[in-house]
Structure 1
Amino acid sequence: MCGMAKTETGKRVSEARERLLRTAAQLFYGRGIHTVGVDRLVSDAKVTNATFYRHFRSKEDLAVAYIGTVDQAIRSQIAGLTAADGSAESILRGIGASLVEQIRSPGYRGCAFLNAGAEFPDPDHPVHRAVVQHRAWFLETVTGLFAEITVVEAEHAGRHFVMLRDGAMSAGYLGDAVLAGETLMRGIEGLLRIHAARGR
Protein backbone atom coordinates (compact mmCIF):
# COMPACT_ATOMS: atom_id res chain seq x y z
CA MET A 1 0.00 0.00 0.00
CA CYS A 2 1.30 3.42 -0.87
CA GLY A 3 -0.67 5.06 1.94
CA MET A 4 -2.94 6.90 -0.47
CA ALA A 5 -6.51 6.23 -1.54
CA LYS A 6 -8.72 7.78 -4.17
CA THR A 7 -12.10 9.37 -3.71
CA GLU A 8 -14.95 8.89 -6.20
CA THR A 9 -13.67 11.96 -8.05
CA GLY A 10 -10.22 10.40 -8.37
CA LYS A 11 -8.61 12.80 -5.90
CA ARG A 12 -5.85 11.19 -3.87
CA VAL A 13 -6.41 11.27 -0.13
CA SER A 14 -3.96 10.31 2.59
CA GLU A 15 -5.13 7.19 4.40
CA ALA A 16 -3.30 8.39 7.51
CA ARG A 17 -5.22 11.67 7.42
CA GLU A 18 -8.52 9.85 7.03
CA ARG A 19 -7.59 7.54 9.90
CA LEU A 20 -6.80 10.52 12.10
CA LEU A 21 -10.13 12.08 11.23
CA ARG A 22 -12.04 8.88 12.02
CA THR A 23 -10.17 8.54 15.30
CA ALA A 24 -10.80 12.17 16.18
CA ALA A 25 -14.50 11.79 15.43
CA GLN A 26 -14.76 8.87 17.86
CA LEU A 27 -12.65 10.40 20.63
CA PHE A 28 -13.73 14.04 20.35
CA TYR A 29 -17.41 13.12 20.28
CA GLY A 30 -17.18 10.46 22.95
CA ARG A 31 -14.82 12.18 25.39
CA GLY A 32 -14.68 15.85 24.46
CA ILE A 33 -12.09 17.73 22.45
CA HIS A 34 -10.20 19.24 25.39
CA THR A 35 -9.76 15.93 27.23
CA VAL A 36 -8.15 14.11 24.28
CA GLY A 37 -4.46 14.80 23.72
CA VAL A 38 -2.36 14.41 20.60
CA ASP A 39 -0.60 11.39 22.11
CA ARG A 40 -3.92 9.54 22.42
CA LEU A 41 -4.95 10.51 18.89
CA VAL A 42 -1.63 9.35 17.45
CA SER A 43 -1.72 6.09 19.39
CA ASP A 44 -5.31 5.18 18.49
CA ALA A 45 -4.87 6.17 14.85
CA LYS A 46 -1.61 4.20 14.68
CA VAL A 47 0.39 7.02 13.13
CA THR A 48 3.52 8.88 14.21
CA ASN A 49 3.67 12.38 15.64
CA ALA A 50 5.43 13.48 12.47
CA THR A 51 2.54 12.14 10.40
CA PHE A 52 0.03 13.95 12.61
CA TYR A 53 1.75 17.31 12.22
CA ARG A 54 2.25 16.77 8.51
CA HIS A 55 -1.52 16.79 8.11
CA PHE A 56 -2.65 19.05 10.96
CA ARG A 57 -0.85 22.01 12.48
CA SER A 58 -2.40 21.39 15.89
CA LYS A 59 -5.12 19.50 17.72
CA GLU A 60 -7.42 22.50 17.20
CA ASP A 61 -6.78 22.26 13.46
CA LEU A 62 -7.88 18.61 13.60
CA ALA A 63 -10.92 19.64 15.66
CA VAL A 64 -11.97 22.08 12.91
CA ALA A 65 -11.57 19.30 10.34
CA TYR A 66 -13.64 16.99 12.57
CA ILE A 67 -16.46 19.56 12.73
CA GLY A 68 -16.17 19.85 8.96
CA THR A 69 -16.72 16.11 8.46
CA VAL A 70 -19.84 16.16 10.66
CA ASP A 71 -21.10 19.20 8.76
CA GLN A 72 -20.48 17.50 5.42
CA ALA A 73 -22.30 14.34 6.53
CA ILE A 74 -25.40 16.36 7.40
CA ARG A 75 -25.23 18.32 4.15
CA SER A 76 -25.00 15.07 2.19
CA GLN A 77 -27.90 13.57 4.11
CA ILE A 78 -30.16 16.55 3.40
CA ALA A 79 -29.01 16.62 -0.22
CA GLY A 80 -30.10 12.98 -0.46
CA LEU A 81 -33.54 13.83 0.91
CA THR A 82 -33.82 16.72 -1.53
CA ALA A 83 -32.70 14.58 -4.49
CA ALA A 84 -35.56 12.18 -3.79
CA ASP A 85 -37.87 14.90 -5.23
CA GLY A 86 -39.97 14.99 -2.09
CA SER A 87 -42.01 17.95 -0.92
CA ALA A 88 -40.61 20.44 1.55
CA GLU A 89 -42.80 18.81 4.20
CA SER A 90 -41.39 15.34 3.53
CA ILE A 91 -37.81 16.64 3.60
CA LEU A 92 -38.40 18.35 6.95
CA ARG A 93 -39.97 15.16 8.30
CA GLY A 94 -36.98 13.23 6.97
CA ILE A 95 -34.59 15.53 8.78
CA GLY A 96 -36.59 14.98 11.96
CA ALA A 97 -36.62 11.20 11.52
CA SER A 98 -32.85 11.21 11.05
CA LEU A 99 -32.43 13.19 14.26
CA VAL A 100 -34.65 10.74 16.14
CA GLU A 101 -32.53 7.85 14.88
CA GLN A 102 -29.37 9.64 16.01
CA ILE A 103 -30.79 10.48 19.44
CA ARG A 104 -31.72 6.84 20.03
CA SER A 105 -28.46 5.37 18.77
CA PRO A 106 -25.90 3.70 21.11
CA GLY A 107 -23.16 6.02 22.30
CA TYR A 108 -25.20 9.16 21.68
CA ARG A 109 -23.69 12.15 23.53
CA GLY A 110 -25.76 15.05 22.30
CA CYS A 111 -25.17 17.43 19.41
CA ALA A 112 -21.55 17.46 18.22
CA PHE A 113 -21.84 21.16 17.32
CA LEU A 114 -23.35 22.27 20.62
CA ASN A 115 -20.73 20.23 22.48
CA ALA A 116 -17.87 21.77 20.51
CA GLY A 117 -19.32 25.27 20.83
CA ALA A 118 -19.48 24.86 24.61
CA GLU A 119 -15.86 23.71 24.71
CA PHE A 120 -14.72 26.67 22.63
CA PRO A 121 -16.83 29.66 23.75
CA ASP A 122 -14.51 32.29 22.22
CA PRO A 123 -16.39 33.49 19.10
CA ASP A 124 -13.09 34.12 17.34
CA HIS A 125 -11.78 30.58 17.82
CA PRO A 126 -11.74 28.55 14.56
CA VAL A 127 -13.70 25.68 16.15
CA HIS A 128 -16.40 28.06 17.39
CA ARG A 129 -16.56 29.72 13.98
CA ALA A 130 -16.95 26.33 12.27
CA VAL A 131 -19.86 25.53 14.58
CA VAL A 132 -21.54 28.89 13.89
CA GLN A 133 -21.07 28.45 10.14
CA HIS A 134 -22.76 25.05 10.23
CA ARG A 135 -25.67 26.35 12.28
CA ALA A 136 -26.12 29.31 9.91
CA TRP A 137 -26.22 26.94 6.94
CA PHE A 138 -28.68 24.60 8.67
CA LEU A 139 -30.99 27.48 9.60
CA GLU A 140 -30.83 28.85 6.05
CA THR A 141 -31.60 25.41 4.61
CA VAL A 142 -34.55 24.75 6.90
CA THR A 143 -35.88 28.29 6.37
CA GLY A 144 -35.69 27.74 2.62
CA LEU A 145 -37.80 24.60 2.97
CA PHE A 146 -40.38 26.44 5.05
CA ALA A 147 -40.44 29.21 2.44
CA GLU A 148 -42.02 26.66 0.09
CA ILE A 149 -44.80 26.24 2.64
CA THR A 150 -45.24 29.74 4.06
CA VAL A 151 -43.35 32.68 2.60
CA VAL A 152 -44.42 35.22 5.23
CA GLU A 153 -43.36 33.26 8.34
CA ALA A 154 -40.59 31.06 6.93
CA GLU A 155 -37.88 32.74 8.99
CA HIS A 156 -39.82 32.26 12.22
CA ALA A 157 -40.60 28.63 11.35
CA GLY A 158 -36.94 27.94 10.54
CA ARG A 159 -35.77 29.31 13.89
CA HIS A 160 -38.48 27.31 15.68
CA PHE A 161 -37.36 24.12 13.92
CA VAL A 162 -33.72 24.67 14.93
CA MET A 163 -34.75 25.27 18.54
CA LEU A 164 -36.79 22.06 18.49
CA ARG A 165 -33.74 20.22 17.18
CA ASP A 166 -31.42 21.71 19.81
CA GLY A 167 -33.82 20.92 22.64
CA ALA A 168 -34.48 17.37 21.49
CA MET A 169 -30.79 16.59 21.06
CA SER A 170 -29.98 17.87 24.53
CA ALA A 171 -32.99 16.16 26.14
CA GLY A 172 -32.20 12.92 24.35
CA TYR A 173 -28.76 12.82 25.92
CA LEU A 174 -29.65 14.06 29.39
CA GLY A 175 -33.07 12.46 29.70
CA ASP A 176 -35.37 10.00 27.96
CA ALA A 177 -34.20 9.51 24.36
CA VAL A 178 -37.48 7.91 23.25
CA LEU A 179 -39.57 10.72 24.70
CA ALA A 180 -37.24 13.35 23.23
CA GLY A 181 -37.64 11.83 19.78
CA GLU A 182 -41.40 11.63 20.06
CA THR A 183 -41.62 15.22 21.27
CA LEU A 184 -39.42 16.40 18.39
CA MET A 185 -41.61 14.75 15.77
CA ARG A 186 -44.78 16.09 17.38
CA GLY A 187 -43.25 19.55 17.37
CA ILE A 188 -42.31 19.28 13.69
CA GLU A 189 -45.81 18.07 12.76
CA GLY A 190 -47.28 20.98 14.72
CA LEU A 191 -45.07 23.45 12.88
CA LEU A 192 -46.02 21.97 9.52
CA ARG A 193 -49.76 22.09 10.29
CA ILE A 194 -49.65 25.68 11.52
CA HIS A 195 -47.59 27.06 8.67
CA ALA A 196 -49.27 25.01 5.96
CA ALA A 197 -52.59 26.50 7.08
CA ARG A 198 -51.14 30.02 7.09
CA GLY A 199 -49.52 29.49 3.75
CA ARG A 200 -52.77 28.71 1.99
Structure 2
Amino acid sequence: MRPSKRDELVQNALTIFYREGFHAAGMDLLSAETGISKTTMFKHFRSKEDLILAVLKLRDEQFRTWLFSRMEEAETPKGQLLALFDALGEWFAEPEFRSCMFIKAASEYPDPAHPIHAQAAEHKRLLFGQVEKITAQAGADDPAALARMLLLLKEGAIVTAHLGHEKDPAKDAKAAAAALLSGLPG
Protein backbone atom coordinates (compact mmCIF):
# COMPACT_ATOMS: atom_id res chain seq x y z
CA MET A 1 0.00 0.00 0.00
CA ARG A 2 1.33 3.41 -0.97
CA PRO A 3 1.90 5.75 1.97
CA SER A 4 -0.50 8.68 2.29
CA LYS A 5 0.70 12.21 1.51
CA ARG A 6 0.70 12.86 5.26
CA ASP A 7 2.82 9.77 6.02
CA GLU A 8 5.17 10.64 3.18
CA LEU A 9 5.54 14.17 4.50
CA VAL A 10 6.27 12.98 8.05
CA GLN A 11 8.89 10.46 6.86
CA ASN A 12 10.61 13.00 4.60
CA ALA A 13 10.43 15.71 7.27
CA LEU A 14 12.06 13.30 9.72
CA THR A 15 15.05 12.97 7.39
CA ILE A 16 15.28 16.73 6.89
CA PHE A 17 14.85 17.69 10.56
CA TYR A 18 17.38 15.04 11.60
CA ARG A 19 19.91 16.38 9.13
CA GLU A 20 19.28 20.13 9.52
CA GLY A 21 17.72 20.61 12.96
CA PHE A 22 14.23 21.81 13.75
CA HIS A 23 14.71 25.58 13.70
CA ALA A 24 17.07 25.54 10.72
CA ALA A 25 14.64 23.56 8.53
CA GLY A 26 11.94 26.02 7.58
CA MET A 27 8.74 25.33 5.71
CA ASP A 28 10.28 26.55 2.44
CA LEU A 29 13.09 23.98 2.72
CA LEU A 30 10.62 21.25 3.69
CA SER A 31 8.43 22.10 0.70
CA ALA A 32 11.39 22.22 -1.70
CA GLU A 33 12.87 18.92 -0.53
CA THR A 34 9.64 16.97 -0.12
CA GLY A 35 7.94 18.29 -3.24
CA ILE A 36 4.86 18.96 -1.11
CA SER A 37 3.47 22.48 -1.19
CA LYS A 38 3.19 24.49 1.99
CA THR A 39 -0.56 24.66 1.40
CA THR A 40 -0.76 20.86 1.40
CA MET A 41 1.47 20.68 4.47
CA PHE A 42 -0.86 23.00 6.35
CA LYS A 43 -3.84 20.87 5.33
CA HIS A 44 -2.25 18.01 7.30
CA PHE A 45 -0.65 20.01 10.12
CA ARG A 46 -1.81 23.27 11.68
CA SER A 47 1.76 24.35 12.32
CA LYS A 48 5.39 23.38 11.90
CA GLU A 49 5.37 22.36 15.57
CA ASP A 50 2.53 19.89 14.90
CA LEU A 51 4.63 18.42 12.09
CA ILE A 52 7.62 18.17 14.45
CA LEU A 53 5.47 16.32 17.00
CA ALA A 54 4.40 13.84 14.32
CA VAL A 55 8.04 13.40 13.27
CA LEU A 56 9.12 12.76 16.87
CA LYS A 57 6.34 10.20 17.30
CA LEU A 58 7.46 8.35 14.16
CA ARG A 59 11.13 8.50 15.16
CA ASP A 60 10.29 7.21 18.63
CA GLU A 61 8.41 4.23 17.19
CA GLN A 62 11.13 3.46 14.64
CA PHE A 63 14.04 3.85 17.04
CA ARG A 64 12.57 1.88 19.94
CA THR A 65 11.43 -0.92 17.63
CA TRP A 66 14.91 -1.14 16.10
CA LEU A 67 16.81 -0.85 19.39
CA PHE A 68 14.67 -3.29 21.36
CA SER A 69 14.70 -5.86 18.57
CA ARG A 70 18.51 -5.65 18.46
CA MET A 71 18.67 -6.06 22.24
CA GLU A 72 16.26 -9.02 22.20
CA GLU A 73 18.64 -10.94 19.94
CA ALA A 74 20.79 -11.59 23.03
CA GLU A 75 19.80 -14.67 25.03
CA THR A 76 20.08 -13.32 28.58
CA PRO A 77 18.92 -10.08 30.21
CA LYS A 78 22.54 -9.16 30.93
CA GLY A 79 23.40 -9.84 27.29
CA GLN A 80 20.46 -7.69 26.21
CA LEU A 81 21.74 -4.79 28.29
CA LEU A 82 25.18 -5.08 26.70
CA ALA A 83 23.62 -5.43 23.24
CA LEU A 84 22.26 -1.91 23.70
CA PHE A 85 25.80 -0.64 23.22
CA ASP A 86 26.47 -2.88 20.22
CA ALA A 87 23.37 -1.41 18.59
CA LEU A 88 24.62 2.10 19.37
CA GLY A 89 27.91 1.26 17.67
CA GLU A 90 26.01 0.24 14.53
CA TRP A 91 24.00 3.46 14.61
CA PHE A 92 27.09 5.63 15.13
CA ALA A 93 28.76 3.99 12.11
CA GLU A 94 25.93 5.02 9.78
CA PRO A 95 27.05 7.81 7.42
CA GLU A 96 23.88 9.78 8.18
CA PHE A 97 24.34 9.64 11.98
CA ARG A 98 23.59 13.09 13.40
CA SER A 99 23.14 12.38 17.12
CA CYS A 100 19.84 11.86 18.90
CA MET A 101 16.79 13.60 17.49
CA PHE A 102 15.28 13.77 20.99
CA ILE A 103 18.34 15.41 22.54
CA LYS A 104 18.22 17.92 19.70
CA ALA A 105 14.50 18.55 20.17
CA ALA A 106 14.90 19.14 23.90
CA SER A 107 17.81 21.48 23.19
CA GLU A 108 15.97 23.49 20.55
CA TYR A 109 12.81 23.63 22.68
CA PRO A 110 14.29 23.95 26.20
CA ASP A 111 11.09 24.77 28.11
CA PRO A 112 10.06 21.48 29.80
CA ALA A 113 6.40 22.50 29.42
CA HIS A 114 6.69 22.84 25.64
CA PRO A 115 4.98 19.90 23.85
CA ILE A 116 8.09 19.18 21.74
CA HIS A 117 10.35 19.07 24.80
CA ALA A 118 7.77 16.94 26.62
CA GLN A 119 7.59 14.47 23.72
CA ALA A 120 11.40 14.19 23.67
CA ALA A 121 11.36 13.51 27.41
CA GLU A 122 8.65 10.89 26.92
CA HIS A 123 10.88 9.01 24.48
CA LYS A 124 13.62 8.87 27.11
CA ARG A 125 11.08 7.77 29.74
CA LEU A 126 9.94 4.90 27.51
CA LEU A 127 13.54 3.80 26.98
CA PHE A 128 14.06 3.91 30.74
CA GLY A 129 11.00 1.73 31.34
CA GLN A 130 12.26 -0.99 29.03
CA VAL A 131 15.82 -0.90 30.35
CA GLU A 132 14.55 -0.95 33.95
CA LYS A 133 12.45 -4.02 33.12
CA ILE A 134 15.51 -5.80 31.74
CA THR A 135 17.68 -4.81 34.72
CA ALA A 136 15.05 -6.35 37.00
CA GLN A 137 15.08 -9.54 34.90
CA ALA A 138 18.87 -9.55 35.19
CA GLY A 139 18.59 -9.64 38.98
CA ALA A 140 19.67 -6.09 39.87
CA ASP A 141 19.16 -5.15 43.52
CA ASP A 142 17.98 -1.70 42.42
CA PRO A 143 16.76 -2.01 38.81
CA ALA A 144 15.85 1.68 38.51
CA ALA A 145 19.26 2.88 39.68
CA LEU A 146 21.07 0.49 37.34
CA ALA A 147 18.82 1.51 34.43
CA ARG A 148 19.61 5.19 35.08
CA MET A 149 23.35 4.47 35.10
CA LEU A 150 23.20 2.47 31.87
CA LEU A 151 21.15 5.17 30.16
CA LEU A 152 23.61 7.83 31.29
CA LEU A 153 26.31 5.79 29.55
CA LYS A 154 24.07 5.55 26.47
CA GLU A 155 23.40 9.29 26.35
CA GLY A 156 27.05 10.12 26.94
CA ALA A 157 28.07 7.78 24.14
CA ILE A 158 25.59 9.46 21.77
CA VAL A 159 26.90 12.95 22.53
CA THR A 160 30.51 11.78 22.32
CA ALA A 161 29.85 10.09 18.97
CA HIS A 162 28.19 13.26 17.68
CA LEU A 163 31.15 15.40 18.73
CA GLY A 164 33.49 12.90 17.10
CA HIS A 165 36.43 13.31 19.44
CA GLU A 166 36.67 9.67 20.52
CA LYS A 167 37.32 6.65 18.31
CA ASP A 168 34.64 4.27 19.60
CA PRO A 169 32.33 5.71 22.27
CA ALA A 170 29.90 2.77 22.02
CA LYS A 171 32.72 0.35 22.83
CA ASP A 172 33.88 2.54 25.74
CA ALA A 173 30.32 2.80 27.09
CA LYS A 174 29.88 -0.97 26.73
CA ALA A 175 33.05 -1.57 28.77
CA ALA A 176 31.71 0.70 31.52
CA ALA A 177 28.32 -1.06 31.33
CA ALA A 178 30.04 -4.44 31.63
CA ALA A 179 31.73 -3.24 34.82
CA LEU A 180 28.34 -2.14 36.22
CA LEU A 181 26.81 -5.49 35.26
CA SER A 182 29.69 -7.67 36.47
CA GLY A 183 27.97 -8.58 39.73
CA LEU A 184 24.78 -9.77 38.06
CA PRO A 185 24.13 -13.43 37.26
CA GLY A 186 24.46 -14.60 33.63
TM-score relative to the length of structure 1: 0.84
Match of 1:137 in 2: 126
> Greater shift after overlay, 77-86 or 184-193?
77-86
Name the SS of the counterpart of 1:68 in structure 2. helix
Aligned ranges 1:110-189 → 2 under 5 Å = 110-176=99-165, 178-189=167-178
Change (3 A) 1:83 1:182: closer
Structure 1 residue 32, shift from structure 2 partner = 0.8
**Contact kept in structure 2, 1:116 and 1:127, CA below 8 Å:** yes
**2:21 is aligned with 1:28:** no
Question: d(CA) in 1 for partners of 2:90 and 2:165?
Answer: 14
Within-5 A mapping of 1:1-200 = 5=1, 13-14=3-4, 16-81=5-70, 84=73, 86-176=75-165, 178-194=167-183, 196=184
Output the CA distance in 2 between the equivalents of 1:43 and 1:18.
17
Q: Provide the C-alpha distance between the structure 1 equivalents of 2:32 and 2:70, rounded to a whole number of angstroms.
A: 38
- 3-state DSSP class of the match of 1:117? helix
Tell whether the 8 Å contact from 1:20 to 1:45 is kept in structure 2 after alignment: yes
- How many pairs align? 186
Q: Tell me how far 1:83 sits from its aligned partner.
A: 5.8
CA contact (8 A) 2:157 2:169 kept: yes
- Over 3 Å counting, the alpha-carbon distance change for 1:82 and 1:94 in structure 2 is closer
In the superposition, the TM-score normalised over structure 2's length comes to 0.90
For the residues of structure 1 that align with 2:55 and 2:15, how far apart are their CA atoms?
A: 10
2:168 counterpart SS class:
helix
Query: Percent identity over the alignment?
Result: 26
Flag structure 2 segments of 5+ consecutive residues without an equivalent.
none
Asked if structure 1 preserves the Cα contact closer than 8 Å seen for 2:67 and 2:87, the reply is no
Distance 1:49 1:179 in 2: 41
Show structure 1 runs of 5+ residues with no match.
7-12
Distance 1:126 1:36 in 2: 18
- Aligned residues of 2:100 and 2:158 also touching (Cα < 8 A): yes
How far residue 148 of structure 1 moved from its aligned partner, in angstroms, is: 1.1
CA contact under 8 A between 2:160 and 2:169: conserved in structure 1? yes
Q: Which amino acid aligns with 2:20?
A: R
What is the SS of the residue equivalent to 1:178? coil
Distance 1:73 1:114 in 2: 16
1:107 offset after TM fit, Å?
2.8
Once residues 181 and 119 of structure 2 are traced to their aligned partners in structure 1, the CA distance between those partners, rounded to angstroms, is 30
Distance 2:13 2:120 in 1: 16
CA RMSD of aligned residues (A): 2.0
Q: Which moves more between the two structures, 107-116 or 86-95?
A: 86-95
